[in-house]
Amino acid sequence: MSRLRFEQVAKTFHGGIEAVAPFDLAIDSGELIAFLGPSGCGKTTLMRMAGGLETLSGGQVLLDGEKLGGPDRRRGMVFQSYSSFPWLTVGENVAYGTRYRRDLDTQQKREQRDRYLELVGLTEFADAWPAALSGGMRQRVAIARTLAAGSQVLLMDEPFGALDAQRREALQLELLALQRQEPRTIVFVTHDVEEAAFLADRVIVFTRRPARVLAEVDVNARLGRERTLDTRDSPAFFALRNELLAFVRATAEEHAS
Amino acid sequence: MRANASAGYKVGVGAASVALLFLAWELSSRSGLTSARFLPPPSAVAAAWWQMVTEQSLLFHAGVSTLRVWAAFLLAAGMAIPIGILMGSVRVIGAALEPIVDFVRYLPVPALVPLSIIWFGVGEETKIFLLWLGTFFQLVLLVSDDVRRVPFEYHEAAATLGSPSWRRLTDVSLPAMLPTLVDNLRISLGWCWTYLIIAEIVAADSGLGFVIWRARRFLKTPEVMAGVVTIGIIGLATDQLVRAAHRRRFRYLAP
């Protein structure tokens, strides 16, 4: 059975602006799906509906067959900005992820905090304030915090969008490493074609608003599941990137004509 | 280290500019460029200040004024913080109270002095009421704005980490707004002093406003100025203390 399932999910904002046309998608456990599309196309809205942060105008989102409502711990969010709490230290931020876990006692919560700090390589920064960290490290705090909350689904809204190219690549590699160690079901929203191709098992390309599926690309079939920096230099990667780029350009032209 | 050096530099420049101002003032008064009767030199003001401390219980009056300011300030803040938070986080409460608050906010406090005396007489209640009136309605709007300005992403992140909505106030709103709240409290404490002097001039037999007004009646300009300077010193000291505490408590903003 698929883990996260979109069934005829649609969104129309007040005033009748249609943001998302009825959308269907089944995501398997441990799969990383990239939502690729032009800015403002509605892909973020779609992801936010999965997170319970936006109401649905139609359809439903199911987690393990159960219909989802408002936000809870099962679906963790990582935002592009304001992702960690500046008034808490790095360690306290990650610990906050465990605060509302009833399945853990105090000792286990502490272990979870330490474990995920370690996993994102921030153990020695546990007592630092987020403002003292680079943007990339702050995003790692946010990811560790969400993982510590025991989220089954990670919803990432252009999480590396504000980073420079090198930091973004480093974070992408770390996310892939995390997926190898503890696979999570991830929806990753981006408008960066290479990022989508490099990270995702499947890429969903959206049209301009209202978001409709323009194409669905099985990246594993093209690049395999294992991704390394070498993947980025392979002919298959270039071919895939160009193909995705062509889709994205098509949406732009469709809008212009 | 660099931050310390630049802080020292700032203090140095500030002290030098104040010293220069005093020097120019002293010289202009002594040389007869300005009338000492209307603008006594700093030395005369200092002498008057010392005489007032030793013979006219200036410190007692300063203490009385400070107590009034803090009593009214704590009352205003104690009401404005919870009400402002409610106005900022519950839309219907904000919509209901904002027109009233806005109306009262624009009433000049001095215009309400006669009414206040009719209601409360000339005792402490009138002073506290006037100060409260001048600060509460300003502060309540600032607090509600502070709550509204908390980035919604913080609330959303907390919600997806399992924080129930009733915990969001202490988990997110309060810690996120606290630095600006403390700044706003510091500023409104300054307003309290403004209104206090008005209240003490009109209806008081103690306090710095009373001292200044009494000195004016006998045209003791050095004493008037000594009273004014006392207020300035108290204000400056309080402000710097709160600022220092702010930097210490909120050092996470600029670690």
Cβ proximity of B146 and B88 under 8 Å: yes
Structure-token pair, residue B232: 């300035």
CA distance B86 to B140: 10
pLDDT confidence of residue B35: 82
Q: How many structural domains are present in chain B? A: 2
**Residues B19 and B97 placed together within one structural domain of the fold:** no
String of b and e for B132-145 (b: at least 16 CB within 10 Å)?
Answer: bbbbbbbbbbbbbe
- Assign B114 a pLDDT band (cuts: 50, 70, 90): confident
CB-nearest partner of B162 from A51, A73, A131: A73
CB-CB under 8 Å, A71 with B175: no
Largest CA distance in chain A: 61
A16 assigned to some structural domain: yes
Distance CA A122, CA A171 (A): 13
Residue A26 forms part of a structural domain: yes
Looking at the fold, whether B240 and B153 belong to one and the same domain comes out as yes
Nearest CB to A97 within list B161, B171, B172: B161
Answer whether A82 sits within 8 Å of B157, measured CB to CB.
yes
Q: In what order do the strands lie in the sheet with A153-157?
A: A75-78, A153-157, A185-190, A32-36, A202-206, A213-218
Residue A171 domain-assigned? no
One domain for residues B56 and B181: yes
Lowest mean pLDDT among A241-245, B47-51, B120-124, B138-142: B120-124
CATH of the domain at B238: 1.10.3720.10
Q: How far is B154 from chain A (nearest CA, A)?
A: 7
Calculate mean pLDDT across residues B29-50. 86
Q: Are residues A67 and A114 in the same domain?
A: no
The C-alpha atoms of residue B81 and residue B87 are separated, in whole angstroms, by 10
User: E strand or H helix at A205, and its extent?
Assistant: strand A202-206
Best CA proximity match to A143, nearest among A88, A92, A83 = A83
- Residues B29 and B75 reside in one and the same domain: no
Residue of B149, B160, B168 to mutate, testing the A interface (most A Cβ within 10 Å of its Cβ): B160
State whether A45 and A157 are in the same domain. Answer: yes
Cβ atoms of residues B143 and B84 within 8 Å: yes
Residue from B199, B207, B194 nearest B127 by CA: B199
Of B161, B176, B178, the CB nearest to A73: B161
Say whether both B99 and B26 belong to one domain: no
Question: Is residue A172 one of the residues assigned to a domain?
Answer: no
Pairwise CA distance, residues B89 & B73, whole Å: 23
For residues A126 and A194, state if they share a domain: no
Q: Are residues A58 and A91 in the same domain?
A: no
Q: Is the pLDDT of residue B34 over 90?
A: no
Is there a single domain that holds both residue B10 and residue B73? no
Please check the confidence at residue A87 and state whether its pLDDT lies above 90.
yes
Nearest CB neighbour to B160, from listed A76, A101, A130: A76
**Closest-CA distance of chain B to residue A148, Å:** 9
Chain A nearest CA to B170, separation (Å): 12
Q: Is the pLDDT of residue B1 over 50?
A: no
**CB-based burial, B108-130: b 16+ in 10 Å, e otherwise:** ebeebbeebbeebeeebebbbbb
Structural domain including B126 reads 37-253
Is residue A173 situated within a structural domain?
A: no
Q: How far is residue A217's CA from residue A243's CA, in Å, rounded to a whole number?
A: 10
**Whether residues B12 and B46 fall in one domain:** no
For A148-165, the pLDDT digits (tens) are 999 889 999 999 988 888
Let me know whether A146 and A156 are in one domain: no
Q: Are residues A35 and A49 in the same domain?
A: yes
Query: Both A220 and A115 in a single domain?
Result: no
Q: What is the mean pLDDT of chain B?
A: 90
Contact residues on chain A for B157, CB-CB shorter than 8 A: 77, 79, 82-83, 85, 142
DSSP lists the bridge partners of residue A33 as A187, A202
**Could you tell me if residue A170 is inside a domain?**
no
- In this prediction, residue A248 has a pLDDT band, given cuts at 50, 70 and 90, of confident
- Residues of chain B that touch chain A, judged by Cβ-Cβ distance less than 8 Å: 151, 153-154, 156-164, 171-172, 175-176, 178, 251-255
Check pLDDT > 70 for residue A1.
no
Report how far residue A181's alpha carbon sits from residue A176's, in angstroms, rounded to the nearest whole number.
Answer: 9
Question: Facing residues of A76 across strands?
Answer: A154
Kindly state whether residues B49 and B146 are assigned to the same domain: yes
Q: What percent of chain A has pLDDT over 70?
A: 97
Question: What is the per-residue pLDDT for A254?
Answer: 60
Query: What residues of A are in contact with residue B175 (Cβ under 8 Å)?
Result: 85, 87-88
Q: Are residues B207 and B99 both part of a single domain?
A: yes
In the A/B pair of chains, how many CB contacts fall below 8 A?
Answer: 77
Tell me how far the alpha carbon of residue B127 is from its chain's centroid. Answer: 15
Are residues B109 and B3 located together in one domain of the fold? no
Residues B47 and B141 in one domain: yes
Check CB contact under 8 Å for B160 and A151. Answer: yes
Q: Are residues B133 and B236 in the same domain?
A: yes
Task: Give yes or no: residues A2 and A56 share one domain.
Answer: yes
Give pTM, 2 decimals: 0.85
**Residues of chain B contacting residue A146, judged by C-beta atoms under 8 Å apart:** 160-161
Q: Which residues of chain A are at the B interface, by a Cβ-Cβ cutoff of 8 Å? A: 51-53, 70-73, 75-77, 79, 81-83, 85-89, 96-97, 99-101, 128-132, 142, 145-146, 149, 151, 155
Give the model confidence (pLDDT) of B123-137 as tens digits.
888 889 989 998 999
Probe site for chain A from B161, B166, B180, B246 (most A CB atoms < 10 A): B161
A63 and A159 belong to one structural domain: yes
Distance between CA atoms of B135 and B255, rounded to whole angstroms?
A: 32
Tens digit of each residue's pLDDT (9 = 90 or more) over A15-65: 888 888 899 999 999 999 999 988 878 889 999 999 999 999 999 999 998
> What CATH number did the domain enclosing A205 receive?
3.40.50.300
* Residue range of the domain that includes A97: 80-151
- Tally of structural domains, chain A: 2
Contact B254 A131 (CB under 8 A): yes
Of A2-11, A110-119, B25-34, the least confident: B25-34
Chain B interface mutation, best of A45, A83, A84, A85, highest count of B Cβ atoms under 10 Å = A85
CB spacing of A129 vs B251 below 8 angstroms: yes
Query: Per residue in B215-241, is it b (16+ CB within 10 Å) or e — as a string?
Result: beeeebbbbbbbbeebbeebbeebeee
In a domain, A218, yes or no: yes
Look at B153 and A145 and tell me if their CB atoms are within 8 Å.
no
What chain B residue is nearest to A157 in terms of C-alpha separation?
A: B153
Whether A107 is covered by a domain: the verdict is: yes
- Are residue A204 and residue A190 in the same domain, yes or no? yes
Print burial letters for A6-25: b (CB count within 10 Å at least 16), e (below 16). beebbbeeeeeeebbbebeb
Q: Which residue of A has its CA nearest to B179?
A: A87
Note whether A204 and A129 are same-domain residues: no
Instruction: Tell me the C-alpha distance between A113 and A202, whole Å.
Output: 31
Shared domain check, A66 and A15: yes
